[in-house]
Amino acid sequence: MRGFRDRDYVETVEGLFFTVVSNVHPEGRVIAYLKYAPSPEGKWGAEGSRYARMMPYYDIPSLLNTIEFLERHYPHYVYNCPVMGIKMSAVPLSHVKHHYRPEERLANLKLEGARDSLEALTLELADYIASQADIPVSSLGVTGSVLIGIHRPEFSDVDLVVYGRSNALKVRRALKELYSSPSSEVRRVEGAKLEELVKRRIEIFHLSREEALKITMRKWNRGVFRGRDFSIHPVKVEDEVDERYGDRVFKAVGLTEVEAVVEDSSEALFMPAVYKVRDVEVLWGPRVDEVREVVSYEGLYLDIAEPGEKVRVRGKLELVEGKKGGYYRVLVGSPEARGMDYLKPLT
């Protein structure tokens, strides 16, 4: 059955919109972060039904601010997770008013037709990517403000999802080729817009200009289509998820910084991005054996390092305990690091 997938949205009984994170959730809840809340001064939505964006940036400090907001006003959406050992936002299923599915929204747009210029552009981009990647357009969906119908055609972006590993790999390959083709209708972010993006990532993620630029140029899933920014995000389908919530338990050990060689990046396409690593050298922090993974919940670090490449990682060291024994991982995007963690390719 179709469950709650990464990049879905849920609307609560109070009219709050949450973005779903990951495909694995605790029983009776869906892990999600608060994205939009009703506000007369909000920029999204129509007159009489305005919404403010509660996460101005996709980073951990912004996420922590939303959790503090929820604790003050809607504490039933704050969840002390015994599996992750952290406080997070997770919506009880009893409070879900509507579950928005990206593939259904895109299918309805194709069936009913676009009502404005941004919806028309969404359909054109989806058709273009599907044809160039040789995948069915039904394997795509639209998320973000277009999914929930509060977009503003004058400034909203187009945010797509692609379902399934095979389709995602085809889209990645197609976009990389299109970016280098003079006749392509999609372009990388460049010029003043690139400078603005790099500057923002320097400020938010505490990177040097060289690091921010290098990582930005590796992000194949963000570009420009006919003058409008777009993104596309790979999402697993149900038969690609072989883990249930609680199969593994994660225990914090402390903050650390390591250098390691990427051994396998096949799971780095998805949220969370998982890099299998070897030859781990601890630069500072607890010294342990069996550090097998680097895992990122920061979207910036999804799919930016390849097998054989050396990376430097700062994050939370965790002991992972499961049915197949225990090992350690370094997590990027933890509340404890408060935005000071990173994953930097060293090539």
pLDDT digits (tens, 9 = 90+) for 193-248: 999 999 999 999 999 999 999 999 999 999 999 999 999 999 999 999 999 999 99
* Integer Cα distance of 171 and 129 in angstroms: 7
Task: Give percent of the chain with pLDDT exceeding 70.
Answer: 100
The CA angle 338-7-274, to the nearest 5 degrees, is: 55
Task: Give percent of the chain with pLDDT exceeding 90.
Answer: 94
* Integer Cα distance of 122 and 115 in angstroms: 11
* Integer Cα distance of 1 and 237 in angstroms: 10
* Integer Cα distance of 117 and 109 in angstroms: 12
Question: Across the strands, what pairs with 224?
Answer: 187, 229
pLDDT for 47 beyond 80: no
For 218, what's the count of Cα atoms within 13 Å in the CB-facing half-sphere? 20
Q: In which residue ranges of the chain is CATH 2.40.50 found? A: 248-345
Q: Determine if the peptide bond prior to 272 is cis (ω within 30°).
A: yes
pLDDT grade for 298, boundaries at 50, 70 and 90: very high
Looking only at the bridges linking them, the beta strands covering 325-332 and 310-322 are: antiparallel
CATH of domain 248-345: 2.40.50
Average pLDDT, the chain: 96
Is residue 337 within a helix (H) or strand (E), and if so which, with residue range?
A: none
Q: Model pTM?
A: 0.95
